[in-house]
Amino acid sequence: MGKALGRARAIAQIRVIHLLSENSPYIDIHAMKQLFDLEPFMWIAEQLDPLRPMNDPAWQGNTVSHCLPKSFGAYCKLLHPLNQTTRWSELAKRFRIAFHAELSVTSFVPWPDALTKPDSGTLNLAAVTRLANLLAPLTHRQSCYFYYNLIATRSYERDLLYTGGLEEVALTFQLDTVSGSPSYWWPADRSWCICTDWDLTFSLIGGAHNVIATLLADPILECVTVTPMTRVDDFADLQRQRPQT
Domain contains 196: yes
Residue 111 confidence class, pLDDT cut points 50, 70, 90: very high
Beta bridge partners of 194: 185, 205
Please say if the pLDDT value at position 151 is more than 90: yes
Please say if the pLDDT value at position 90 is more than 70: yes
**Average pLDDT estimate for 109-134:** 94
**Please, what sign has the CA dihedral across residues 123, 125, 130, 132?**
positive
Domain that holds residue 80: 2-240
Task: Tell me what pLDDT residue 83 has.
Answer: 85
Domain contains 245: no
- Name the domain count of the chain: 1
Residue 3 confidence class, pLDDT cut points 50, 70, 90: very low
Please say if the pLDDT value at position 9 is more than 70: no
Domain contains 229: yes
Domain contains 107: yes
The pLDDT tens digits of the residues spanning 166-184 come to 999 999 999 999 999 999 9
Task: Tell me what pLDDT residue 238 has.
Answer: 66
Domain contains 53: yes
Task: Tell me what pLDDT residue 240 has.
Answer: 56
For residues 5 and 176, what is the distance between their CA atoms, to the nearest angstrom?
Answer: 12
Q: Give residue 148's Cα distance to chain centre.
A: 12
For residues 34 and 70, what is the distance between their CA atoms, to the nearest angstrom?
Answer: 28
How many residues comprise the chain? 245
**Average pLDDT estimate for 141-161:** 96
